[in-house]
Amino acid sequence: MDSIRYLKSFIFSKYHHRLVFSFLICTLLPLIVMGSVLYSITHKIAGDSILNSIILADDQLNIRINNRLNQVQKVSDAIRYDMYSLMQRMSHTGEDFSILTNVRDNIYLLKSTFNLYHIDIFLDEKNIASSEGLFFHPLYDLKEYGLENIVNMDSKWIYKPNYHLPYVLDNSKKSQDVIGYVHTLNDQVTKETEYTYIVLINTSEFYDMLNESFEGVDLTGFIMDTNGNIISHTDKELIGTKLDDIILNSILSNTKKIYADKILYYHAVALDNGWYHVTEIPKIYVYRNIYTILQTFFLIIFISIPIILFVIFLTSANLTNRISKLSSAMDNFKLGKKSISFSYLTNLNNSNYYDEIDRLGLTFLNMQESINRNMQSILDLTVSEEKLKYQLLQSQINPHFLYNILGTIKTCQTIGKPDIANHMIDNLTRFYRMSLRKSGEKITIKDELEISRLYLEMEQLCRKDTLSWSIDAEDGIENYLICKFTLQPFLENSILHGYSAEHQSIHISVSVCYGDDEIIIVINDNGCGIEPDKLSKIRYQLKNHIVDYNQHFGICNVNKRISSTEFGSGEITIKSYLNEGTTITIKYAQMEEND
């Protein structure tokens, strides 16, 4: 009882101990039960799996055998046309010998193309082709070849052991075991045989197929006809023998199934020509593979248990350690105190690997930083807002621009061009009147384009006609609203930074069009472009809504303003290529007067 009490106290005293105990129960118990059940059913499943894999391999072999048999049959069908030509044109000795030559060439081409053993054609001795001696023979030679019964056979396929080729084709006098596909034509009236031919292939082809399929395994296979004659076998000594009648009858009655005797399984499948492909599977082969599977399984279990125990202890220690650190940090947290950090979080380079405990710790860290940052942020917010407003007004009325315009006006008056000077004064007056009278932050696109046009006209006069521009806006779009002074900073940058020794004149185009519930403005110039390093810095500032008061303030200020929900949650993108020009794209949600 004391030992049980101590065990309970040890298990439930700490969260780590309870977690380890739970892991062990949830892992080892199912593993033991699963092993017991698996042992009882593996014999059947593994045996069936092995037999099924053999059957699958047999099916692949059967496809190859059937393809070869069907190929021979198609060759036989192709010869029928030549036989028709031969019988029609060569029935008299006076016929042209070129027909015989053409037919013989076709027969030879089929033989060589499809790798046939031979093609023997038997004709009436009155036909002059019957004396050819290579492919053509008289009908009475059927007896010499041992083929006198083929004209009355029900089956078109025959097995012929010890078949001899003509001496002119094979002077070695060696015989071969062959199988052949027979075609016979009998006169419909007299029932006499007009011709018969046989397409032959060597049985060694099937011997090679069988041995290739069973290479490296203790299996045997053979091909037999319906009478049990073994036509091909993985053991050459058994070719030509006859299968035992009891086994033959059992195999034929269990086609496409597994038939078993005391020591062997037999798997038989009917081929396309009516013969059978049989695979012999020793039972010891199946049992040996089953025992190998079982041994492998128990070896895996034996190796897995220590690994599982190690992983359980490691995982549980990691979990409880992080929870303890998080609990301690929460207990010690005080407002205004320096933020507590978790080193294990900073060691993870990818936040995708954070789990729920990591994210809880990260949330706590963010909460600390947010609380410690909020007071200073609130103080900085007011100062920053006032500074932005001041800088915005400063950017709206560029003193350099004003000085240049006034200087140009003075020059025009001095050289006697009061009309141009008056036109510039009129434009300058209209520019500042429109800029200053619009007290709100949002104005219509029509007014924004008018301010831009006045600005460009004045710059054009200052630049002595080296500046050209075009403004294109879709119908009705000018009545939508836009953040005030959105375009002017970009136009000013295009002019100030677009000129170079290679670019003495600049053209700026402004287009305003509809998007999907948004306004799209594209400003394009053909100036000298922006250097890659500078362009990368600008893009970084735009993406992160950074306002640098020393560099790129104008475009960053516009970006920060239009990115807010008040001004359409917009975005600005820049594309620029050196010596080719710059394209500014501004997108923001459509805004109307009642928004």
Alpha carbon distance, N-terminus to C-terminus of the chain: 79
Tell me the pLDDT tens digit for each residue of 159-183. Answer: 888 888 876 676 666 788 899 999 8
Give the pLDDT of residue 347. Answer: 52
Parallel/antiparallel/unpaired status of strands 136-138 and 118-123? parallel
Most confident of the ranges 40-44, 64-68, 550-554:
64-68
Query: Which region among 135-139, 183-187, 505-509, 591-595 has the lowest average model confidence (pLDDT)?
Result: 591-595
Give the pLDDT of residue 302. Answer: 75
Give the pLDDT of residue 6. Answer: 54
Long-range pairs of 67-72 with CB within 8 A, sequence gap ≥ 24: 68/201, 68/205, 68/206, 69/157, 69/181, 69/271, 69/272, 69/273, 70/272, 71/114, 72/114, 72/116, 72/181, 72/199, 72/201
3-state secondary structure of 573: strand
Of residues 463 and 180, more confidence is placed in 180
Give the pLDDT of residue 128. Answer: 76
Give the pLDDT of residue 218. Answer: 79
> Mean pLDDT across the chain, nearest whole number?
78
Give the pLDDT of residue 491. Answer: 86
Lookup result for tokens 């005293």: 13
Q: What's the predicted TM-score (pTM) here?
A: 0.45
pLDDT at residue 522 greater than cutoff 90: yes
Give the pLDDT of residue 397. Answer: 45
What are the phi and psi torsion angles at 548 (to 5°)? -95, 120
Query: Which region among 144-153, 274-283, 505-514 has the lowest average model confidence (pLDDT)?
Result: 144-153
Long-range pairs of 100-108 with CB within 8 A, sequence gap ≥ 24: 100/128, 100/129, 100/132, 103/129, 104/132, 104/134, 104/135, 104/136, 106/82, 107/79, 107/82, 107/135, 108/135
Of residues 153 and 226, more confidence is placed in 226
3-state secondary structure of 280: strand
Give the pLDDT of residue 216. Answer: 77
pLDDT above 90 covers a percentage of the chain that reads 9
What is the dihedral sign for C-alpha 454, 455, 456, 457?
Answer: positive
Query: Which region among 88-97, 246-255, 278-287, 506-515 has the lowest average model confidence (pLDDT)?
Result: 88-97
Give the pLDDT of residue 2. Answer: 60
Most confident of the ranges 1-5, 112-116, 400-404, 420-424:
112-116
Of residues 557 and 220, more confidence is placed in 220
Contact between 278 and 219 under an 8 Å Cβ cutoff? The reply is no
Of residues 30 and 210, more confidence is placed in 210
d(CA 290, CA 285): 9
Question: Strand runs (DSSP E) across 295-371, as ranges?
Answer: none
DSSP state of 397: S
What is the dihedral sign for C-alpha 435, 438, 439, 440?
Answer: negative
The pLDDT confidence band at residue 394, using thresholds 50, 70 and 90, is: very low
Query: Which region among 98-112, 131-145, 210-224, 308-322 has the lowest average model confidence (pLDDT)?
Result: 308-322
d(CA 105, CA 114): 14
Angle between helix 399-414 and 445-462 (nearest 10): 50
Q: What is the mean pLDDT of residues 452-460?
A: 82
Give the pLDDT of residue 15. Answer: 58
Give the pLDDT of residue 390. Answer: 42
Long-range pairs of 363-369 with CB within 8 A, sequence gap ≥ 24: 364/326, 364/329, 364/330, 365/339, 365/340, 365/341, 368/333, 368/339, 368/340, 369/339
Tell me the pLDDT tens digit for each residue of 200-247. Answer: 999 888 888 988 888 877 788 899 888 888 889 888 888 888 888 888
Most confident of the ranges 6-10, 68-72, 161-165, 503-507:
68-72
Tell me the pLDDT tens digit for each residue of 305-364. Answer: 777 777 777 776 766 776 777 677 676 666 555 555 655 555 555 566 566 666 776 776
**Dihedral angle, C-alpha 578, 580, 586, 587, nearest 10 °:** -110
Domain ranges of the chain: 43-304, 333-389, 440-589
d(CA 484, CA 439): 9
Domain 440-589 has CATH 3.30.565.10: yes
User: What's the burial of 308, exposed, middle or buried (CB within 10 Å: 0-12/13-18/19+)?
Assistant: middle
pLDDT at residue 403 greater than cutoff 80: no
How many CB atoms within 10 Å of residue 54? 22
Give the pLDDT of residue 523. Answer: 93
Parallel/antiparallel/unpaired status of strands 506-514 and 571-577? unpaired
Most confident of the ranges 79-93, 288-302, 323-337, 559-573:
559-573
